[in-house]
């Protein structure tokens, strides 16, 4: 990791809820040897990283609206549906979350 002249490092910002769901799904898919699930999860992380990359957003836009993100996320889900193994994991995680 490289820092700038002031010792600062740039980070990418990802939505916590969706990122943790995908990371947990990725972890479980890896434990089960589910390559299809791992590939899907990797695509989702890349999708989120692309939305929040500096090429897509300016610093003023860093707090992209929930409505906008959710619309993009849902559109991506329509194009790239989760394999059954991942869909089950995501569903279990969603049920465990406090409302």
51, 69 in Cβ contact below 8 A?
A: yes
Per-residue pLDDT of the chain (99 residues; tens, 9 = 90+): 888 888 888 777 788 888 998 999 999 999 999 999 999 999 999 999 888 775 555 545 555 667 788 888 899 989 998 898 888 887 877 777 654
pLDDT at residue 9 in the model: 83
DSSP structural state of residue 80: S
């Amino acid at each position: 990791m490289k820092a700038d002249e002031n010792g600062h490092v740039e980070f990418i910002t990802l939505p916590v809820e969706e990122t943790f769901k995908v990371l947990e799904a990725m972890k479980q898919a890896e434990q089960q040897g589910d390559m299809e699930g791992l590939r899907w999860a990797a695509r989702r992380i890349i999708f989120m990283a692309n939305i929040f990359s500096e090429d897509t957003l300016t610093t003023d836009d860093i707090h992209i609206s929930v409505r906008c993100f959710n619309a993009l996320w849902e559109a991506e889900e329509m194009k790239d549906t989760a394999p059954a193994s991942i869909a089950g994991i995501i569903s279990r995680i969603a049920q465990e979350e406090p409302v």
